């Protein structure tokens, strides 16, 4: 199982922190806020999809994460 420290945050998304908090939901929310400019790799998409109900997402981002998740699953099947 991935931990918060395993979820990398691009430096561009850390303007207000020297180091990202050791909190998985914080890290996923920060990635989701800038999705799809960041976080479209398979591992991040999987985590965003798994935690999507706990994140603050508008309908468009919620659906976009679902589409990326489906696309990654099709690619690896």
- 53: in domain: yes
- 64: in domain: yes
Query: Could you give the C-alpha distances from 53 to 5, 32, 35, 61, 62, in angstroms and in order?
Result: 21, 12, 16, 12, 9
User: What confidence category does residue 1 fall into, taking pLDDT thresholds of 50, 70 and 90?
Assistant: low
User: Would you state the structure tokens that stand for residue 73, as one six-digit string?
Assistant: 């699953």
Task: Give how many domains the chain has, as a whole number.
Answer: 1
- 45: in domain: yes
- 12: in domain: no
d(Cα 36, Cα 30) in Å, to the nearest integer?
A: 12
**60-69 pLDDT per residue, tens:** 999 999 999 9
d(Cα 62, Cα 58) in Å, to the nearest integer?
A: 6
- 18: in domain: no
- 54: in domain: yes
- 4: in domain: no
Q: Please report the pLDDT score of residue 2 as a whole number.
A: 64
Residues 6+ apart with CB under 8 A from 69: 45, 46, 48, 49
**19-53 pLDDT per residue, tens:** 999 999 999 999 999 999 999 999 999 999 999 99
User: Would you state the structure tokens that stand for residue 12, as one six-digit string?
Assistant: 């561009």
- 72: in domain: yes
Q: Please report the pLDDT score of residue 6 as a whole number.
A: 80
Give the residue numbers spanning the domain of 60. Answer: 24-76
């Amino acid at each position: 199982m991935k931990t918060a420290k395993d979820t990398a945050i691009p430096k561009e998304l850390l303007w207000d922190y020297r180091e990202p908090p050791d909190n998985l939901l914080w890290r996923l929310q920060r990635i989701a806020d800038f999705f799809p400019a960041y976080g479209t790799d398979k591992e991040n998409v999987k985590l965003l999809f798994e935690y999507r109900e706990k994140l603050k997402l508008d309908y468009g981002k919620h659906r976009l994460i679902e589409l990326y998740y489906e696309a990654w699953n099709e690619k690896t099947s």
